[in-house]
């Protein structure tokens, strides 16, 4: 570990094998808490390479509790977090909208680490029962169109770094791994990234996986489509920039995206938006993100038509019904 720490302190890149073995040892509890804290902190000072990202991802997947479903035509929607913008739970709300529109969603999420309220926080508050039972999850996916994979149940190795991450309270390379290590590895993915350089690395990794995907990065630093600025879209043979008007919406102000100051407030916002009682800005943002996910699943539909499907899911209460069924 001394050699790995020295390379990291000197901001030198680790090889794929070094990255894989380091995270594997961390996940097995074979590295002391002091060494792990030093490594995570020092690594934060440098730019992550594709080989490092790939090595960390593969180690965490190898350490995970894997789950598979008989039909894998599904999508995960999540962001890296770490944009420090304190928005409401865009990807999680959008997931229920997509499921309400008739698409299968296998959502991977966790408690907030570098944010106040992660997807697990708000769903737990609303009464969702986390489970790692494959049969239960598949039954829920078949009956409601969505299931939620609570990261701590599927990545028990992360317990060795959980306290360190919580105490640090800042984004680390673990934020980047979340969207890459869904234990079900669904066939489609919409992932939001806070940094354009990282977004391009995600595109490279996801292209290697042969999955259908969209990586989104709002050019003002958000890890989702917020309609506050132009949006970079990176996908299978795609690299483009679009403006809010191309997402059938007007530009939104950052203050319109505030996620509240408590989990209770976040949960209230969550249900209000799914009930169709969100503000125009909130609804427009959710329709845009859900529309992008639907477009990822159904590339034969225009993006405009996909956004219309998302709006219909909200207006018809199908999205709300999906949430209610998932909680029952």
Q: Residue 121 has what pLDDT?
A: 94
pLDDT classification of 55: cutoffs 50, 70, 90: very high
Does 325 have pLDDT greater than 70?
yes
The contacts of residue 178 (CB under 8 Å, 6+ apart) are: 78, 80, 81, 108, 109, 110, 151
Please calculate the CA angle 230-198-200 and round it to the nearest 5 degrees.
Answer: 70
Query: What average pLDDT does this structure show over 257-280?
Result: 93
How much of the chain, in percent, has pLDDT values that exceed 70?
Answer: 98
Q: Is 118 exposed, middle or buried (0-12, 13-18, 19+ CB in 10 A)?
A: buried
Report the distance separating Cα 54 and Cα 17, nearest Å.
10
Query: Strands 188-192 and 105-109, how do they pair?
Result: unpaired
User: How is residue 108 written in tokens?
Assistant: 């991977």
Report the distance separating Cα 169 and Cα 219, nearest Å.
24
pLDDT by residue (tens digit) across 164-218? Answer: 888 887 788 888 999 999 999 999 999 999 989 999 999 999 999 889 999 999 9
- 71 C-beta neighbours (distance < 10 Å), count: 10
Could you tell me if 115 and 304 are in contact, meaning their C-beta atoms sit under 8 angstroms apart? no
Could you tell me if 77 and 293 are in contact, meaning their C-beta atoms sit under 8 angstroms apart? yes
- Predicted TM-score (pTM) of the model is 0.93
Query: What average pLDDT does this structure show over 79-101?
Result: 88
Does 114 have pLDDT greater than 80?
no
Of 168 and 142, more confident: 142
Q: Is 153 exposed, middle or buried (0-12, 13-18, 19+ CB in 10 A)?
A: middle
Q: Is 97 exposed, middle or buried (0-12, 13-18, 19+ CB in 10 A)?
A: buried
Q: What is the overall mean pLDDT for the chain?
A: 93
Q: Residue 314 has what pLDDT?
A: 98
Query: Strands 238-242 and 75-79, how do they pair?
Result: unpaired
Single out the residue of 232, 157, 243 nearest to residue 191, CA to CA. Answer: 232
User: How is residue 123 written in tokens?
Assistant: 């769903």
Could you tell me if 185 and 46 are in contact, meaning their C-beta atoms sit under 8 angstroms apart? no
What H or E segment, with its residue span, contains residue 229?
none
Does 308 have pLDDT greater than 80?
yes
DSSP secondary-structure letter at 218? E
Residue 41 CA from chain centroid, whole number: 23
Helices (H), the chain: 2-9, 16-27, 33-43, 50-63, 90-100, 119-126, 134-144, 151-154, 159-168, 173-177, 196-209, 263-274, 280-297, 303-315, 318-327
Map out the domains of the chain with their CATH numbers. Answer: 2-63 (1.20.970.10), 75-153+172-327 (3.40.1030.10)
């Amino acid at each position: 570990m001394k050699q790995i720490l020295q390379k990291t302190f000197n901001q030198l890149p680790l090889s794929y094998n070094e990255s894989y073995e380091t995270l594997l040892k961390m996940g097995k509890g074979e590295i002391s808490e002091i060494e792990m804290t030093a490594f995570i902190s020092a690594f934060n000072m440098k730019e992550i390479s594709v080989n490092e990202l790939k090595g960390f991802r593969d180690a965490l997947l190898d350490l995970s509790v894997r789950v598979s479903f008989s039909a894998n035509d599904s999508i995960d929607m999540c962001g890296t977090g770490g944009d420090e913008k304190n928005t409401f739970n865009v990807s999680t709300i959008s997931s229920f909208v997509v499921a309400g529109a008739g698409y299968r969603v296998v959502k991977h999420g966790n408690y907030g680490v570098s944010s106040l309220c992660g997807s697990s926080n708000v769903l737990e508050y609303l009464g969702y029962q986390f489970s790692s039972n494959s049969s239960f999850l598949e039954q829920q996916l078949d009956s409601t169109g969505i299931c939620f994979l609570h990261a701590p149940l599927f990545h028990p190795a992360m317990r060795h770094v959980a306290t360190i991450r919580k105490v640090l309270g800042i984004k680390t390379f673990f934020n980047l791994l979340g969207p890459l290590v869904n234990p079900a590895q669904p066939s489609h993915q919409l992932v939001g990234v806070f940094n354009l350089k990282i977004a391009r690395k995600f595109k490279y990794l996801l292209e290697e996986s042969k999955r259908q995907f969209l990586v989104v990065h709002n050019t003002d630093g958000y890890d989702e489509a917020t309609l506050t600025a132009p949006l970079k879209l990176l996908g299978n043979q795609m690299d483009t920039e679009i403006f809010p008007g191309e997402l059938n919406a007007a530009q939104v102000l950052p203050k319109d995206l505030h996620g509240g100051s408590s989990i209770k407030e976040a949960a209230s916002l969550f249900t209000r938006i799914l009930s169709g009682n969100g503000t125009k800005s909130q609804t427009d943002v959710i329709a845009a993100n859900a529309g992008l996910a639907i477009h990822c699943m159904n590339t034969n539909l225009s993006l405009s038509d996909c956004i219309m499907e998302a709006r219909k899911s909200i207006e018809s209460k199908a999205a709300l019904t999906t949430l209610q069924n998932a909680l029952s």
